[in-house]
Structure 1
Amino acid sequence: MSSNVQFQYSFDATPQPLQRPVVRPDPNAPLFASEDALVASLSNNECIFQVKRTGDAHVMTFQVLQALDQCRDFRTLDEHVARVQTTIPGLENQRDAVKTVLESLVDRELLVSDDLFVSRLSDGRAARASKPLRAAFIRACDRPAQLDRLLASLADYERRFRSARHYVVLDDSSTEASIDRHRDLVREFARTTGCKVTFIGPAERQRLADKLAKALPAARAAIDSLLLPQPGATNFGGGRSWNLALLLSAGDRFVMFDDDHRLPLKRHELAASGLDLAPSRGAFARFFRNMEEALGAGEEIDADPFALHLDACGSGIGDLVARDAYKLDRESLRGLPLSRLTHLAPDARVLATMHGTYGSARSESAAWLYQLDAEGRADFTASREAYLANVEAQHLWHGTRQARLSSIAWFTPFAFDNSELLPCTNPLGRGEDALFSAAAHFCHPDALVLELPVAIGHVQEQSRRRSQRSLQASTPRLNHFATDYIQRQFGAFLASDPAQRLHLLAGIFRDLAGADEARRVTHLREYLNYVRADAIERLQQQFEAAANDSPIYWQADVRSIIDANGRALIAKGAPRLADWSDDIDPAGCAAALAREFNGLADQFDAWPALWSYAREQGERLLAGV
């Protein structure tokens, strides 16, 4: 904090002739927003205004503070003057005085212009040096047909761009037939493309785990749980290959596919350049009659899809917004307060990039379809026949219109900047992507995820019935619970070293696991009540907004979902997460939570040493598989 109080502000209270506020804002005029600050009273008339960003302190009257409070959102100076005049008693006739004070606040940078905000993002910093791409990793598991199609699309990519990427297939299949077929597909891909390809099946994975355990014997149990299938485990285990990719790329960047992805990347007709900073605008969805239509939608991008992502992955925010594709213009800032833009800081960087999908949805539930905007909802419910097909979210486009920056990603990113420690994720259970992203933001509070306005093909091995789960009460999985628990810790700790922060996160998890049984049960109940109450509130808002223009079948399902969550909210059953058995009792829920969180804590504690060893090994670790 600055040691000097800088200056005092006040309005001239001399009566002025009546002046009516007339606002004709110039569309080319700069926009201004007041600094986010802490305020403490000094007297009946004065207060101290401490800027959160710098700690600088300013003394002003409460009337000036009121004026600043009315200038929170980015708008033109004339708009701010008119708002202050019409909202603060006694200033109706003092347009010139109000404008003079606001101009002085601009001079002192307590009202921040759009140009100043953007220039601060660069802050004189040199562009970050990007690390090389270690490899493109492919998570495969018992789906030879899907892997075959992905490799065919990558072969087309290689013929077009001649990039000669290194591809690593991480095979976590459970059957010998799938493993053998995957190995054959990889050999054929290497033969036809000439690319370097590494296949890591169960035997190779075991050898790698043994090598890591030899170097770090104290971490043997954590290594096995992080990378290898565990006897008796029945949960989906996509996190094992995720963790393996993190170790095999430690110190560099990497990209990751799932076996049911396929190129090319495409751009929807709604896509536009620039950054969308409005937190209320979500992704959009459009629906198709069948998979053929979905795969034919959009326009293939001209650029190398890898290069498109790698151009942004690892970049500093100042460097990013200087590019035409991600430029911040005035309209993107209009109406937003600086308090909602704190994630855009000079130290921030793009930790990962992601894209949307065309084809199948990425989620196991389609409850999010009932939160679509008016245009998406109209397409979703175009006819009853279309609606009954669309509720399964099997043939659609789901993505963003403009590039967006966020603290965490709820789906699997494509490109990762693994130059500094990235955390492991839960090797078991769905939702490992969101858990990783939340833990990564905890370890790197200034790091962000960039979602690009493009999409990749996503074709699952079979049609999935999502509607049944969508109509049930919201019941998150363990990884979703852990994700939300981590988000509650954001901003509460000061350490800068990511390894120290990951150890701290392990301690936070052990703290909850070590609570007595009654507190664990209470915590789970409170969490589920919050999730379900939030679902009810958002659905009721959607219902009220769409009541006059939505079909009866959509309204009936919204009522059913609200009713299901309402019944669950007042039920006396066990506070069960979705991964746990239906017949579990409250004591079993408490025990499962303690077991799961202690296991995650052990993995978090072991991970920094594993990642550091992998970084020291560099390319040798992957070459020696």
Structure 2
Amino acid sequence: MSSNYNISYSFSIGGTQSEEPPPAAPLYAFGDCRECNLGNGAVLLVNRARSAQAVVSRDVAIALDHCREFRSLQAHAEYLTAYMPELGGDVAAVRSVLEHVRDSGLLEAAADYAGLLTTGGATHQAADVTRTAPPSRVFIITCDRPQAVARLLESMLANAELGRHEALCLVDDSRDSANAERNRELVADFNLKSARDMRYFGLTERAAFIAALSEQLPQHIPALRFLLDRAHWEGHKTYGMSRTLCLLLSVGRRALVMDDDVLCKAFASPFCKPGLVFCESLCEADFYPDPQSWLARLRALPEDPLRAHLQCLGHGMAGALEALDFPSLAGEDLASSQEKILRGLNAASPVLVTQNGTLGDPGTGDTSWAYSLTGESLARLLGEPGSIAEKLTARQFWMGWSQPVFARRANMSQVTGLDNSALLPPYFPAWRGEDQLFGGMLRYLHPDALVLNYPFAVPHLPLEARQGATAGNPAVPSGLALIDAYLAQQATDAPGFTLADRLASLVQLMRGAARSGDAQLAALYRELLATTQTDTLRQLGDALRGPGNHHSEWRGMLEARQRSYFAAIGRQTVPVQLFGVAEGTPEEHIWTQFRQLAGEFANALEAWPALRDAAAEADPLAARATTP
């Protein structure tokens, strides 16, 4: 066989720059293609969605990987020549190649996706239009912060239409009995003023609930204890346990879950933009020296943030778009959207999670997200007044979205909407990272579902003083991140799998982790760590070549972080160290505990549908629930 492959097209530097196309030029993105290496500098690209393929040079394949967002061909060419100096700035030549790639069928047209989202076929459209969204229940989760609870309850009375919800509930995980008693009193006082009574759900109520479920499902008592019994997690912070309780107390409903240290008050984005976007990217940010600064500058909205969450939660894509005043879409409406988010969607694709932005404290002391900022957010970080370090350590941010943003992955929001009429997974009961793992499992179980990030924010005001940090540890991932990465490796978007198939597969994956040997788990750990470190180094390299590289403080911070990551990947031996695990813990002890927890979580996931059914039948909130 000859090694002289017929390369259909490759970059050829030279020629003159073409004229800018008209503003309404069609938008394209590189689609879902498999790359087959032919050798001799050539690759075969095979479109997975339809019968299109082409042989291209390796440099074209590399460049196409940077064309995942919908842009005009001219905009793609300009971006590539700016990002890849080896192209010599020849926009005309690059655009010519992109035209050949488009004509071969390897580029997806935004107009094709736009039509599917609002019509998607008569069956999808009819199902979406006639679907009635389930009733809603509102939850506050708290632990030993009655002062924050009092503040939130007052803001709910002032700003929320509480009578529209079927039930309200305070889920109290307080360790201090005095705090629990104070929270109970606050709920009783709230009920004297509220249009809808709130149910207090503390340790006594939880114990009764567990007992009722145990009586119905004695075979699943170990799973119940793993998910709901605080005694099972003695000495550990059980962040996810209260969230799982919220799910079991709202089966068949839409659940709105609020952290206790927020205010029930919506603020408009300080940088509103028209339109919407489909993308999986970092939220935008602005920086303030203190709470008074953003209170003075940002506009409070008259709308109830809880009602705003329900606008699209539980609807299909067509219904959500109509609620957002987009009854129809054109290709140009998908500018800057990512093809991978739109892939496989139709008018009935459900919005299962809604999130909003944050004002004030971001909820985490880790500011590593700042190193990934681009565009206007980066310009605000680098601008005057104040140093970058001061802005990051002050922990007074707006972090959110300036337009509605649809994504496939749920993350963290101090107010979260959950369409619990769908089979949502439980949260891992303990430690941080429970929300990221929930997002990974949700993506695994419902590959066609969407997360909607609304362009408003609520204040997050912790009572205790918190300090941010600009330095991160490049060598310590969390244990839940390890499970999340394991699931991501195995996930498939294949349409032939039912929800039951996917849940059974998820259980088996967890059991596989529980049966893995030390060497297998250590290899997974080191692969996750290496992937995270190299991705970070690539981002740092891009940032050092980016528009902020002239800023001395920023460049110094990037270079310092880069050095720490190069040092981390340069080690000959990589000890296993997980966030929250004492440094120096023997590796075999870490993996023994990991296997035990993975096995217990697998059993809990297997029992989860039965637990949901039993919880819906028991329904401790039913006596207080009223149809609005």
Q: Which residue of 1 aligns with 2:84?
A: none
Larger relative contact order, structure 1 or 2 (CA cutoff 8 Å, min sep 6): 2
How many residues are paired up? Answer: 582
Q: Distance in 2 between matches of 1:40 and 1:346?
A: 33
| Aligned pairs for 1:469-480 within 5 A | 470-480=471-481
1:164 shift after superposition: 6.2
1:451 shift after superposition: 0.6
Q: Which residue of 1 aligns with 2:448?
A: 446
Q: Which residue of 2 aligns with 1:7?
A: none
> Is this contact kept in 1: 2:360–2:461, CA < 8 A?
yes
Q: SS where residue 141 of structure 2 aligns?
A: strand
> Is this contact kept in 2: 1:399–1:454, CA < 8 A?
yes
Q: Which residue of 2 aligns with 1:556?
A: 556
| Aligned pairs for 1:584-599 within 5 A | 584-599=585-600
TM-score of the pair, normalised by structure 1: 0.82
Q: Which residue of 1 aligns with 2:141?
A: 139
Q: What are the superposed Cα offsets for residues 183-207 of structure 1, whole Å, 9 maximum, x if unpaired?
A: 1111111112242110000000000
Q: Distance in 1 between matches of 2:540 and 2:31?
A: 34
RMSD over aligned CA atoms reads: 3.9
Q: Distance in 1 between matches of 2:461 and 2:323?
A: 33
Q: What are the superposed Cα offsets for residues 320-345 of structure 1, whole Å, 9 maximum, x if unpaired?
A: 33455457554443466745631533
| Structure with max Cα Rg | 1
Match of 2:419 among 414, 417, 420: 417
Q: Which residue of 2 aligns with 1:156?
A: 158
Q: Distance in 1 between matches of 2:73 and 2:538?
A: 36
Q: Distance in 1 between matches of 2:172 and 2:32?
A: 49
Q: Which residue of 1 aligns with 2:436?
A: 434
1:547 shift after superposition: 5.6
Q: Distance in 1 between matches of 2:95 and 2:402?
A: 39
Q: Distance in 2 between matches of 1:78 and 1:523?
A: 41
Q: Which residue of 1 aligns with 2:509?
A: 508
Unmatched tracts of structure 1, length 5 or more: 1-10, 12-18, 42-47
| Aligned pairs for 1:154-193 within 5 A | 154-158=156-160, 163=164, 166-193=167-194
Closer/same/farther in 2, CA of residues 523 and 79 from structure 1, 3 Å limit: closer
Segment of structure 1 superposing worse, 199-208 or 77-86: 77-86
Q: What are the superposed Cα offsets for residues 82-113 of structure 1, whole Å, 9 maximum, x if unpaired?
A: 99995699x99xx9xx99x96xx9xxx99865
1:433 shift after superposition: 1.0
Q: Which residue of 1 aligns with 2:81?
A: none
> Is this contact kept in 1: 2:360–2:395, CA < 8 A?
yes
2:152 maps to amino acid: L
> Is this contact kept in 2: 1:36–1:52, CA < 8 A?
yes
Q: Which residue of 1 aligns with 2:23?
A: 27
1:145 maps to amino acid: Q
Q: Which residue of 1 aligns with 2:83?
A: none
Q: Which residue of 2 aligns with 1:458?
A: 460
> Is this contact kept in 1: 2:359–2:399, CA < 8 A?
yes
Q: Which residue of 1 aligns with 2:4?
A: none
1:354 shift after superposition: 0.2
Q: Distance in 2 between matches of 1:172 and 1:481?
A: 27
Is residue 568 from structure 1 mapped to residue 564 from structure 2 by the alignment?
A: no
Q: SS where residue 264 of structure 1 aligns?
A: coil
Q: SS where residue 152 of structure 1 aligns?
A: helix
Is residue 242 from structure 1 mapped to residue 210 from structure 2 by the alignment?
A: no
Unmatched tracts of structure 2, length 5 or more: 1-7, 9-14, 38-43, 79-89
Q: Which residue of 2 aligns with 1:286?
A: 286
Is residue 119 from structure 1 mapped to residue 119 from structure 2 by the alignment?
A: no
Closer/same/farther in 2, CA of residues 581 and 50 from structure 1, 3 Å limit: closer
1:488 shift after superposition: 2.1
1:161 shift after superposition: 7.6
Segment of structure 1 superposing worse, 535-544 or 210-219: 535-544
> Is this contact kept in 2: 1:262–1:457, CA < 8 A?
yes
Q: SS where residue 354 of structure 1 aligns?
A: strand
Q: Which residue of 2 aligns with 1:16?
A: none
| Aligned pairs for 1:21-420 within 5 A | 23=19, 25-28=21-24, 30-31=26-27, 52-53=48-49, 57=51, 86=93, 114-121=110-117, 122-123=119-120, 124=122, 125-126=125-126, 127=128, 129-158=131-160, 163=164, 166-231=167-232, 233-279=234-280, 282-325=282-325, 328-334=329-335, 338=339, 341-382=342-383, 386-392=387-393, 394-412=395-413, 414-420=416-422
Q: Distance in 1 between matches of 2:536 and 2:109?
A: 38
1:609 maps to amino acid: A
Q: What are the superposed Cα offsets for residues 332-362 of structure 1, whole Å, 9 maximum, x if unpaired?
A: 4346674563153344211110011001012
Is residue 604 from structure 1 mapped to residue 605 from structure 2 by the alignment?
A: yes
Q: Which residue of 2 aligns with 1:44?
A: none
1:260 maps to amino acid: D
1:538 shift after superposition: 1.5
TM-score of the pair, normalised by structure 2: 0.82
Segment of structure 1 superposing worse, 211-220 or 109-118: 109-118
Q: Distance in 2 between matches of 1:335 and 1:148?
A: 42
Q: Distance in 2 between matches of 1:77 and 1:178?
A: 61
